[in-house]
Amino acid sequence: MSSESSKKAILAALLANLGIALTKFAAFVITASSSMLAEAIHSLADTGNQGLLLLGRKGAQKKPDELHPFGYGRIRYVYAFLVAVVLFTVGGLFAIYEGYEKIRHPHELESAIIAIGVLVVAIILESFSLRTAAKETANVKGDQSYWSFIKSSRIPELPVVLLEDVAALIGLTLALGGVGLALALDEPRWDGVGTLCIGVLLVVVAVILGVQMKGMLVGESALPHEVEAIREALSGADGVNSVIHMRTLHLAPEELLVAAKIEAARDADLPRMADIVNGAEDRIREAVPTAKYIFLEPDLRREELAQQ
């Protein structure tokens, strides 16, 4: 479900941003609006970002090999981190520079009405993209709020597309305000102010994405409710007295590694111990289907070993 949902959101965003970018570039050529140029670069960067996300999904499908025995799933986080870098540099820093230059050296807008019309059309198209991303996210986020999902999700593509679409809509509104004020007040510096605000917005979004993806690249555990479900599955398994300690790690959005030391029945022989371990693994996979790699080590607690 999550894989298909993220793919639909990516494709919807890619098509919308490509069309919007071409329209904005055409409008910039006509109007010479710096806000329009910043928004055009932003949409072009977003289009490239969707391509990066699709490349990441394709690369993650490679089968495990000797060099990468746990597969290539984490490459999706690498490409998502690259998206944050592109958004920060190509989108944010460029817009800040362009806005600063426009404020220092203002020049009159040409055909501002055309710019406003293009921005309104872009807002409509971007709204459809955001609607698709929100709908697909709703299929996987459960009872979480959207912000909570963005902060805790182990699926990189959906938070990226959601934040990009929200930033794009806010950016379009800022550009519309900048162009509108420049036209109404006959002060082209407002166009530069709108551009500057767009740049700051993109930098903030890029930092949020970068921090989130950095955590996944370093390695994050399963979500708290998944950890609790795994612990309960282990504790309730036949022949398992308790869980001594446990570690989890996301190798990919839908691939979880579970390693645990369990206190097993002391009188179990080797065949019985194998049944205990296999039964515990089955319970874990039933409780958390994404648990793909499970390593269980039967042991005794230290206090019991000290008494022997």
Over residues 123-133, the pLDDT tens digits come to 888 888 888 88
Instruction: For the chain, give percent helix, strand, coil, nearest 5.
Output: 70, 10, 20
Cα-only R_g, the chain: 25
**CATH, residue 250:** 3.30.70.1350
Tokens 């369990």 belong to 262
pLDDT band at 305 (very low <50, low <70, confident <90, very high): very low
CA distance 246 to 296: 9
Residues 137 and 279 placed together within one structural domain of the fold = no
Whether 87 and 202 have beta carbons less than 8 Å apart is answered as: yes
Over residues 223-238, the pLDDT tens digits come to 888 999 999 999 988 9
Whether 51 and 86 have beta carbons less than 8 Å apart is answered as: no
Tally the domains of the chain: 2
Q: Residue 190: give the domain boundaries.
A: 2-218
Predicted TM-score (pTM) of the model is 0.76
The string of DSSP codes covering 34-48 is HHHHHHHHHHHHHHH
pLDDT band at 102 (very low <50, low <70, confident <90, very high): confident
Residues 235 and 93 placed together within one structural domain of the fold = no
250 has a pLDDT exceeding 70: yes
Distance of CA 232 to the CA centre of its chain: 29
3-state SS assignment for residue 130 = helix
Residues 107 and 208 placed together within one structural domain of the fold = yes
The string of DSSP codes covering 148-194 is HHHHH-S-SHHHHHHHHHHHHHHHHHHHHHHHHHHHHHT-THHHHHH
Predicted pLDDT of residue 233 = 93
CA distance 276 to 282: 10
Would you mind telling me the total number of residues written for the chain in this entry?
A: 308
Boundary-marking domain end, from 186, 218, 250 = 218
Boundary-marking domain end, from 189, 218, 247 = 218
Residues 299 and 170 placed together within one structural domain of the fold = no
Residues 197 and 259 placed together within one structural domain of the fold = no
Lowest mean pLDDT among 25-34, 123-132, 170-179: 25-34
pLDDT band at 89 (very low <50, low <70, confident <90, very high): confident
The string of DSSP codes covering 47-105 is HHHHHHHHHHHHHTTSPP-SS-TT-STTHHHHHHHHHHHHIIIIIIIHHHHHHHHHHHS
Exposed (0-12), middle (13-18) or buried (19+): which is 93, by Cβ within 10 Å?
Answer: middle
CB atoms within 10 A of CB 160: 33
DSSP type of residue 144: S
Residues 65 and 213 placed together within one structural domain of the fold = yes
Residues 58 and 89 placed together within one structural domain of the fold = yes
Boundary-marking domain end, from 218, 242, 264 = 218
CA distance 65 to 280: 27
1-10, 39-48, 74-83 — which one is most confidently predicted on average? Answer: 74-83
CA dihedral 202, 208, 213, 215 (to 10 degrees): 160
75 has a pLDDT exceeding 80: yes
Predicted pLDDT of residue 259 = 95
End-to-end CA distance of the chain: 51
Average pLDDT of the segment spanning 90-96: 81
Average pLDDT of the segment spanning 84-99: 82
Residues 109 and 149 placed together within one structural domain of the fold = yes
Task: Identify which has the larger pLDDT, 6 or 272.
Answer: 272
Residues 62 and 156 placed together within one structural domain of the fold = yes
2 has a pLDDT exceeding 60: no
Residues 194 and 68 placed together within one structural domain of the fold = yes
Residues 190 and 251 placed together within one structural domain of the fold = no
Residues 208 and 254 placed together within one structural domain of the fold = no
Q: Please name the helix (run of DSSP H) or strand (run of DSSP E) that holds residue 228, with its range, or none.
A: helix 224-235
302 has a pLDDT exceeding 80: no
**CATH, residue 39:** 1.20.1510.10
